[in-house]
Amino acid sequence: MRLEQVHTHPDPYAPYLLSQAIRAGGFLFVSGQAAVGDDGAIVGRGDFDAQAEQAFRNLERALRAASSSLGRVVKVTIFLTSMAHFPKIVELRRKWFSAPYPADTIVEVSALYSPDAMIEIEAIALADQAGE
């Protein structure tokens, strides 16, 4: 099976030696997308709503870079630094996804890669849009 690295432009994660996504066997495995702006800095420090919107925008951008889309996502894992934000996640799932909604795991963690990061979203999606 061939692995293909997916790049976004700009790619704020390149300095960390990770791929935005990897295409393998008809699937796309998207790395955790946080509230990182094009400059590599956290967007919305201390503002969960702003960070969550940016994380979903970054997820969408990574999927598009691989010729996929939010409608092709089959599984997401959402990491939160506080489950107090769970109701907002339900609202955002309604905004960014549509039925059939992807399988989902939401996990509270004590910290993410930056002390300012409050959310990170990783996903598995169908890689090929042929037939859509």
DSSP letter at 102 equals P
C-beta neighbour count of 31 within 10 angstroms: 20
CA distance 5 to 28: 10
pLDDT higher at 10 or 130: 10
pLDDT score for 131: 37
Tell me which CATH code domain 3-126 carries. 3.30.1330.40
pLDDT for residue 129 is more than 60: no
Q: What is the arithmetic mean of pLDDT over 11-21?
A: 83
**Token digits of residue 117:** 């990061």
Taking the model in full, what pTM does it have? 0.91
Residues in the chain: 132
Point out which residues pair with 33 in neighbouring strands.
121
**pLDDT confidence tier of residue 18, bands split at 50, 70 and 90:** confident
- Cα atoms in the Cβ-side hemisphere of radius 13 Å centred on 58: 30
pLDDT score for 132: 40
